[in-house]
């Protein structure tokens, strides 16, 4: 089952991109942010974008997002103390 989201935006915003680039940027940036927030896995995000998981993880660098997503220093310290 597929869903569709309708987003209204000023035409001037889309004019900064060419053709399908705006749609791709909106989709990519949304999924990267959802991954960063821990709402979707890298596998799900990759599948939605039609990428391999490795390609999605490489895409994260374009957005300066850690491949560890919502995993932060507090999580790391907790893992160290539990080791």
pLDDT in tens, 24-82: 999 999 999 999 998 999 999 999 999 999 999 999 999 999 887 666 777 777 878 88
Q: DSSP readout, 21-79?
A: HHHHHHHHHHHHHHHHTTSS-HHHHHHHHT--HHHHHHHHHHTT--TTTT--HHHHHHH
pLDDT in tens, 2-22: 888 888 888 888 888 887 899
- pLDDT confidence of residue 52: 96
The conformation of residue 19, written as its DSSP 8-state character, comes to T
- pLDDT confidence of residue 1: 66
- pLDDT confidence of residue 49: 97
> Residue ranges per domain, the chain?
21-82
pTM of the model: 0.78
**CB neighbours (10 Å) of residue 71?**
12
């Amino acid at each position: 089952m597929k869903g569709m989201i309708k987003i209204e935006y000023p035409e001037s915003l889309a004019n900064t991109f060419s053709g399908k680039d705006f749609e791709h940027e909106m989709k990519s940036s949304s999924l990267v942010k959802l991954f960063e927030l821990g709402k979707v896995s890298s596998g799900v995000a990759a599948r939605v974008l039609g990428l391999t998981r490795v390609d999605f993880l490489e895409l994260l660098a374009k957005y300066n997002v850690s491949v560890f997503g919502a995993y932060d220093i507090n999580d790391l310290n907790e893992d160290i103390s539990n080791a």
